[in-house]
Amino acid sequence: VGQTIKGSAISSVQRDVPVIISLTSYPARMNSIMYTLRSLMTQTVKPDKIILWLTEGQYPRREADVPLEILNLRKYGLTIGWYDRPIRSYTKLIPALQQYPDAIIVTADDDIQYRKDWLEGLYKAYLNEPQMVHCYFSHKISMTDDGCTPYNEWLDVKTESTSYDNLLLGVGGVLYPPHICYTDVCHEDLFMECAPSEDDLWFWAMVVMNNSKIHVIHNENSATI
């Protein structure tokens, strides 16, 4: 289905601290990502920028390899960004952190339709508590004296919660205030060695190592249609 975009998807009033929606995708998803992009471009609170990051090696001719219907979204405010190294799902956040270190970065996944008030909920939470990360979906990390219990034993966080133990889950969207992550967050050699397919865990660790907490917004179904 997807929403109909009417006018610019970008805020007409520039904020002191820009709000940037950042996501990535790959060729096999190009036919379905339109639904995600339309949902991000029809929000009740508009961002200052929406960037779809693509990896250069997957699109040898760059824009010529991107479907026209996606290119056409640029007239409503979509920006297509290019990253020169294959860092998988990390691409949804790393290049945005590098290029816009003083902005609020809100990540989204490329296979979800987000509710119209998705960004509004995240941004209101940020305005109330600007010194922590905000998300809709989370698992509670379970610890024993011997360390972490197995991942599949971690329970969903189903009520509002603020804790170091809340594992942020990218699927529902995550808001990262400026400079909220530890300085190693963009160290590609480290995260591709330690957690090549577990970007949520890496980003959680970088937030906690910077002595910041993760706030789970009340209502676990607020993120998606």
What count of other Cβ atoms lies within 10 Å of the Cβ of residue 115?
Answer: 18
Residue 131: count other Cβ atoms within 10 Å of its Cβ: 11
Give dist(CA 202, CA 182) in Å, integer: 11
- 81's enclosing H/E stretch is strand 78-83
Question: Mapping DSSP to helix (H, G, I), strand (E, B) and coil, where does residue 202 land?
Answer: helix
Helix, strand, or coil here: 204?
Answer: helix
pLDDT tens sequence across 149-166: 777 778 888 889 999 999
- The answer to whether 28 and 56 are in contact (CB under 8 A) is no
Supply the pLDDT for residue 5: 84
The pLDDT value recorded for residue 144 is 72
Separation CA 7–CA 198 (nearest Å): 37
List the chain residues with pLDDT less than 50: 1, 220
- Cβ neighbours for 125, distance < 8 A, ≥ 6 positions apart: 134, 175, 215, 217
- pLDDT at 218 (0 to 100): 77
> What confidence score (pLDDT) does residue 2 get?
54
The region, left, alpha or beta by phi > 0 then psi within -120 to 50, assigned to residue 71 is alpha
Q: Does the pTM of the predicted model rise above 0.85?
A: yes
Residue length, the chain? 225
What pairs with residue 148 in β-bridges?
143
CA dist 117 and 223 (Å) reads 8
Q: How far is CA 92 from the centre of its chain?
A: 6
Between CA 189 and CA 196 the distance in angstroms is 10
Structure tokens at 78: 């979509």
